[in-house]
Each structure stands twice: as C-alpha cells, then as structure tokens.
C-alpha cells in the first residue's frame, strides 16, 4: 500500500495471519499425467499436493481444474467449479471457468484501441465489445507446460496480429502451492507496443462445487471506490465511492444481502460484475507489493479464501450468467450464482481511458504481477 493509507483493522489482522501462514509453509509435491489432446497437441494434468490442499491444473487454457480444501472438521471438498475431463473444458466456450484469460482480460469497448498512432481492432464477442481477448483468447490455447518446484510453469506465444493485437507476446504463468496458498505469477514480453491484462477466471464455491449458490458467503473487499459501467458493462471512466451503496463491502457482508437492491449498476449487470479499485491504487496502478484485495468466508463449512495481489483492481463476479447449461465435476448443473470470481486485474477498457492505470507493454519491458489465493478455516 502507498504511504499514508491505513488499512482497516480487519485487513491488518488478515495480513498478520498471512505472514504466519507463509512462515509455516510446506513444499508441494508435483506430478504430471497425460490428459488427452487439443488442436493436435498433447494436454497434461498437473497435480500439486500440499499438506492440506491439492490443486489440479491443465495446460489447456491454463485452467485450474480443481482445488481440494478442508472445512472446519477437516472434510475435503472441491471448491473450484470445473469438469472431470478435458472434453468438458473444451465444450465450455462461455464461462472461462478456471482459465487464464488474455491477451486482454475483461472488456475493451467496441474491440477498438489506439497505440502509437495506430488503431487496432479485436473481434467483438460480448454485446459489441471484446471480452477476455476476443473469441479465440488464451483460454482456448494449449500452453507449453513444465514442472517447477512446488508447481508448474505454463508458457504461451501469441503471434503478432492474433485477435488483432500488435506484437508477438510471450506470456508465462507460474502456479505454485506454498502451504495453503496458491501463488499465480504472471510475466510477459512483447516485440511491439501492445496492451496486456492477464488474470485467472476461477469460480469458487467454498461449500463445494455444485453445493448450491454462494449468496450466503460473506465477502469483504478492500476498496473505497469502484468503476461504474454503461449498459454493456464498459466503464464510464469515473471512480465512484462505494459508501452508502450496495457496492460497499468494506465490512463483511453476505453476497446476496443487497444483490437484488433497486440500484442502477446492479440492474445493468444482473447483479455484481464490476471492478473494485483497491485501496492505495486510486491514482497509481503501479505494483507496490502484495496487498489485500478481498476475503470470503462460507459460514456453513468454515472455509475461507483470502486474496492478495499486486494488481490495482479486482472484478467481483458471482456467476450472474451461469444458467444451468453446463454440468460440473460432481454432476450438478451450474445455475446462477453457483460460484464467484475474484479476478485481479487492471481496470476494464483501460486502453480507452488515459486516466486509468496503463496496460501498455513496450518492447524491452517485462510485465510482472502476482496474485495469491490463500485457503483457510474459521471455526
């Protein structure tokens, strides 16, 4: 956080808990198995096994396949929505479930942006806008994977002009399991000036995937402001205060408590689907080390999820558009609000809003960011 900004006492407490977690961290075992083919390329399944948490990841779309975590009684459940087979992920071209989205996660208005005097167009795939890199984004690609200590590194080379983006982009995503914390480290380089916004799109249900909706989960978001949107979910360019609105999650609040309030922003999105401006980043967006973004607790199981990041924003999305079209790993149809996403990111449509933190990456520079999902239990 920037100097002069004081975190609420809740977040100070969370920060101390994370330090204790890190000090007690244990190494994870990593195994690799074949998981089929996609686009004629071999697909692998990587299993990261820690003391309490086990995570499976595939190089198809860099998806998180499953996350086994204990409840307050030590009972394990898969807390990430997903599928038992590669075919399940291949068939789902709507939800981005568990994937790394890019080259530009979230939305670009009308799929159009300008850099260095040139205008670029990304195919529109969401109400006239480009969403998550266009219709053939990073979530549909077979990445190159290799085991590393405590995890896996996935690499993707996106050619110059792919989906309209300039420059050959080389992206690396490292998933490592340290204790009960999943670290996601992103890096990227480019051959031409381009825009980049990489994030993970896992849907969580801390009661267990398929175990009903998440409206009773209690969430805290470390943000005094959010970016309001128009009817197509493109930011207006303003940073509105959360105070006195259903967007205020500075104190622990059930996800469903105000989701149906008579509030214009909720009506436009069918619920929450907005970017929160994390405290300390209102005028910067520059990495300042890991800072707390959000915490979610499921009162029924006691499971908790704490999110820390170097990114300036987080998109909170509680599965408004899940509609029962897809059947998950345990056989349940994923209906509306059956999972929530916390997508750490730069702000949506940043290339078209000069006042937002920049997402431009130039040749000779290296993009770096990190997000940590820490799983815990509250008695």
Mean pLDDT by 10 residues, the chain (379 residues): 37 46 69 98 98 98 98 98 98 97 98 97 97 98 98 98 98 98 98 98 98 98 98 97 98 98 97 96 64 98 98 98 96 98 98 97 98 97
Please report, for the chain, how many H helices and E strands are present, in that order: 3, 27
Is residue 40 within 8 Å of residue 46, measured between CB atoms? no
Q: What DSSP letter does each residue of 1-42 carry, written as one string?
A: --TT----HHHHHHHHHHHHHHHT----EEEEEEEEEETTEE
The reported pLDDT for the residue numbered 26 is 78
Domain over 9-374 is classified CATH 2.70.98.10? yes
CA neighbor of 103 nearest in space, from 62, 146, 59, 145? 62
Q: How far apart are the first and last CA of the chain?
A: 30
CA distances from 373 to 156, 200, 245, 252 (A): 23, 11, 27, 18
Out of 153, 162, 343, 370, pick the active-site residue: 343
| Look-up of token digits 């175990």 | 211
The domain spans of the chain are 9-374
The conformational region for residue 217 under phi > 0 = left, psi -120 to 50 = alpha, else beta, is beta
Q: Determine which helix (DSSP H) or strand (DSSP E) holds 266, and give its type and residue range.
A: helix 264-269
Strands 107-108, 41-49: pairing kind: unpaired
* Cβ within 8 Å of residue 167, ≥6 positions away: 160, 190, 191, 192, 193, 194, 361, 363
* Cβ within 8 Å of residue 165, ≥6 positions away: 103, 104, 120, 122, 133, 158, 194, 195
Phi, psi values for residue 74, rounded to 5°: 85, 5
Q: Is 343 a catalytic residue?
A: yes
The reported pLDDT for the residue numbered 289 is 87
Q: In angstroms, rounded to a whole number, what is the distance separating the alpha carbons of residues 42 and 30? A: 18
Is residue 53 within 8 Å of residue 177, measured between CB atoms? yes
| Look-up of token digits 């396949």 | 65
Out of 132, 172, 201, 353, pick the active-site residue: 201
Q: What DSSP letter does each residue of 192-251 carry, written as one string?
A: S-EE-B-EE---B-TT-TTSS-STT-EEEE-EEEEE-B-TTS-B-S--EE-TTSTT--SS
């Amino acid at each position: 956080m920037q100097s002069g900004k004081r975190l609420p006492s809740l977040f100070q407490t969370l920060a101390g808990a994370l330090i204790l977690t890190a000090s007690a961290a244990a190494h994870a075992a990593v195994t690799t198995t074949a998981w089929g083919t996609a686009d004629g390329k071999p697909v692998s399944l990587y299993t990261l096994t820690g003391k309490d948490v086990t995570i499976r990841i595939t190089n198809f779309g860099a998806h998180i396949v499953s996350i086994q975590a204990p409840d307050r009684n030590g009972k394990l459940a898969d807390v990430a929505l997903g599928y038992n087979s590669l075919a399940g992920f291949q068939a789902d071209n709507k939800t981005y479930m568990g994937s790394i989205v890019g080259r530009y996660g979230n939305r670009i208005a009308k799929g159009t942006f300008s850099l260095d005097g040139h205008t670029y167009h990304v195919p529109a795939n969401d109400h006239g806008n480009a969403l998550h890199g266009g219709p053939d984004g990073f979530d549909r690609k077979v990445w190159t994977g290799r085991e590393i200590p405590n995890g896996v590194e996935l690499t993707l080379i996106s050619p110059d002009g792919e989906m309209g983006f300039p420059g050959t982009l080389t992206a690396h995503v490292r998933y490592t399991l340290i204790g009960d914390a999943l670290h996601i480290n992103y890096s990227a380089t480019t051959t031409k000036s381009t825009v980049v916004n990489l994030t993970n799109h896992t849907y969580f249900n801390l009661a267990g995937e398929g175990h009903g909706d998440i409206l009773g989960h209690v969430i805290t978001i470390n943000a005094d402001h959010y970016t309001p949107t128009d009817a197509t979910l493109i930011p207006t360019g303003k940073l509105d205060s959360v105070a006195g609105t259903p967007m205020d999650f500075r104190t622990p609040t059930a996800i469903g408590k105000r989701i149906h309030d008579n509030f214009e922003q909720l009506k436009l999105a069918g619920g929450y689907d907005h970017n929160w401006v994390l405290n300390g980043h209102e005028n910067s967006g520059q990495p300042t080390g890991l800072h707390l973004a959000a915490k979610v607790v499921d009162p029924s199981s006691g499971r908790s999820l704490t999110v820390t990041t170097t990114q300036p924003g987080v998109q909170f999305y509680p599965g408004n558009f899940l509609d029962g079209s897809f059947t998950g790993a345990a056989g349940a149809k994923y209906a509306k609000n059956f999972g929530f996403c916390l997508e750490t990111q730069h702000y949506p449509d940043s290339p078209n809003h000069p006042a937002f933190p920049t997402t431009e990456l130039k040749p000779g520079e290296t993009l770096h960011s990190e997000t940590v999902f820490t799983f815990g239990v509250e008695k």
